[in-house]
Amino acid sequence: MPQFRRGDRVYRRLQEEIGRNTIRIETDGEEIGQVNGLSVISLGGLTFGNPSRITARVRLGRGEVVDIEREVELGGPLHSKGVLILGGFLGGRFGKTRPLSLNASLVFEQSYGGVEGDSASAAELFALLSALADAPINQSFAVTGSVDQHGRIQAIGGVNEKIEGFFDACQTTGFTGRQGVIIPASNIKHLMLRRDVVTAAAEERFRIFPIETVDQGLSLLTGLTAGEPDAEGNYAAGTLNQRIAARLDAFAVKAAELARNAAGMEARK
């Protein structure tokens, strides 16, 4: 069992609220457009991990990825930069041959303080891509890591506290044996976990997945193949990227259809 230092009270309180569902964290089942993100809170002498439910919703629109924390000035500049980078990735991968006729909104649910740092940008991207692909995300996992404009996962700080924070949340809500954490491969060298987490990992009751790319993370979270583009830049049917491309095409077609109805309907006669 973990040993608690000073500052514990707040941490224990947080875990209790998760246990009582005042703060809603799911550690089982699957949801579309929702992922467990991980941040750290520093308080007194203690730094502890803080799991957050990150949600994304998409609709027909004009290509905007709305970072709600930023809109209301609860997100710091590094968080905002992370979301803009994620938009750069989306545009670079899917926006060269089709317009991005979507509006997406990203939220840290039940987060009432500020959000800073880019360590949730991979998680936010997964939530967004899940919403676009209508592909459910396994809630047994939590994610940490930042992402660059080319979809590479980059190292983040506080990796141990973040893993332990989700481990404790799973303990609070009940271990299932299917739970675990997805982290940047470049953070493996920083791992120095509590003994109980190490043991659980060794017994494969709680797993740690290092990833290098967005596509590796997507596959883990959805159980589906991400898919590689062929020579024409198309993805094989059934892959996640093909589903995302198809959704974006559907949005573009719908947007064009609406404009067409508006502009051309009368010209038929």
Between residue 204 and residue 233, which ones bind a copy of itself under the rule CB under 8 A? none
Binding positions for a copy of itself, 28-87, rule CB under 8 A: 31, 33-34, 53, 55-61, 63, 66, 68-69, 71-74, 77-78, 80-81, 84-85, 87
User: Between 22 and 199, whose beta carbon lies closer to a copy of itself?
Assistant: 22
CB of 140 to a copy of itself, least distance (A): 18
Structure tokens at 130: 């899940």
The catalytically annotated residue of 101, 121, 140, 162 is 162
For the question of residue 162 being annotated catalytic, the response is: yes
Distance between CA atoms of 163 and 180, rounded to whole angstroms? Answer: 8
Q: Residues 95, 136, 210, 229: which binds a copy of itself (CB under 8 A)?
A: 95
Q: Is 259 in the site for a copy of itself (CB under 8 A)?
A: yes
User: Between 38 and 147, whose beta carbon lies closer to a copy of itself?
Assistant: 147
User: Between 22 and 42, whose beta carbon lies closer to a copy of itself?
Assistant: 22
Exposed/middle/buried for residue 112 (C-beta within 10 Å: 0-12, 13-18, 19+): exposed
Q: Is 128 in the site for a copy of itself (CB under 8 A)?
A: no
Binding positions for a copy of itself, 141-200, rule CB under 8 A: 146, 148-150, 152, 154-155, 186-187, 189
User: Between 5 and 188, whose beta carbon lies closer to a copy of itself?
Assistant: 188
For the question of residue 146 being annotated catalytic, the response is: no
Task: Specify the stretch interacting with a copy of itself by CB under 8 A; choose among 1-9, 17-25, 137-145, 202-210.
Answer: 17-25
Distance between CA atoms of 186 and 144, rounded to whole angstroms? Answer: 12
Orientation angle between helical segments 240-264 and 77-94, nearest 10 degrees: 80
Task: Write the DSSP assignment of 179-204 as a string of letters.
Answer: EEEEEEGGGGGG----HHHHHHHHTT
Distance between CA atoms of 205 and 199, rounded to whole angstroms? Answer: 9
* C-beta neighbour count of 231 within 10 angstroms: 5
CB of 137 to a copy of itself, least distance (A): 12
Task: Write the DSSP assignment of 226-252 as a string of letters.
Answer: ---B-TTS-B-TTSHHHHHHHHHHHHH
Tell me the catalytic residues.
Answer: 119, 162
